Amino acid sequence: MTEAKPDTPITLRASSTNDADFCLQLYQSSRGDDLRGLGWEEDRISEYLEMQYEAQRNLHASDFPNASDEIVLVDAKPVGRLTTNHRADEIRIVDLALLPEFRNRGIGSQILKNLQKQASFEHKPLRLQVIRFSRAVGLAERLGFVRTSETGTHFQMEWSSDTRV
């Protein structure tokens, strides 16, 4: 695991329709291992994940119509996606995903720390939802997020400059 250097040029740019194939590839890269463990064929997994991706896109468009959808770039190369929704009472991380070869390198931490600075400046909590068994739970907790509620599948987590660890 190689940590991202503090001077690693991580930038964001608005997502566009030209990013559709990349976003589907990114979505598929972050899911499907559990289906492989069940013995599913790759064609079936791919088809299923395409349907799930479309469902997620529709849900986000419905639930977060004003969300900011951005592509994460490292050295000007697309490596991930960040979707945030800024409301009067919170900043919500709707989705943050990185390609497998860019995970565990400090990139997600840098992005979250930048959002924490923004939330602190705006005096708003920073909130997210994460799948219970995701390694992202540990990352969020290391950065001071606390679990505020849970379902059978997800944790709701929050960071506030007033309650940070």
Confidence of residue 161 (pLDDT cuts 50, 70, 90): confident
pLDDT confidence of residue 135: 85
> What is each CA distance from 128 to 7, 96, 98, 146, in whole angstroms?
26, 10, 16, 10
pLDDT confidence of residue 96: 96
**pLDDT, tens digit, 9 for 90 and up, residues 35-83:** 777 788 888 888 999 999 999 999 999 999 999 999 999 999 999 999 9
Q: In this structure, is residue 1 part of a structural domain?
A: no
> What is each CA distance from 65 to 20, 85, 112, in whole angstroms?
18, 9, 22
Among 147, 149, 146, smallest CA distance to 162 is for 146
Q: In this structure, is residue 5 part of a structural domain?
A: no
pLDDT confidence of residue 42: 86
Count of domains forming the chain: 1
Confidence of residue 112 (pLDDT cuts 50, 70, 90): very high
Q: Is the pLDDT confidence value at 149 over 80?
A: yes
Domain residues for the domain of 98 are: 10-159
Helix axes 42-63, 20-29, angle to 10 degrees: 110
How far, in whole angstroms, is CA 94 from its chain's centroid? Answer: 7
Q: Per DSSP, what are the bridge partners of residue 128?
A: 93, 157
Give the predicted TM-score (pTM) of the model. Answer: 0.87
**pLDDT, tens digit, 9 for 90 and up, residues 18-33:** 999 999 999 988 887 7
pLDDT confidence of residue 38: 77
Q: In this structure, is residue 117 part of a structural domain?
A: yes
The domain that holds 111 is classified in CATH as: 3.40.630.30
Q: In this structure, is residue 18 part of a structural domain?
A: yes
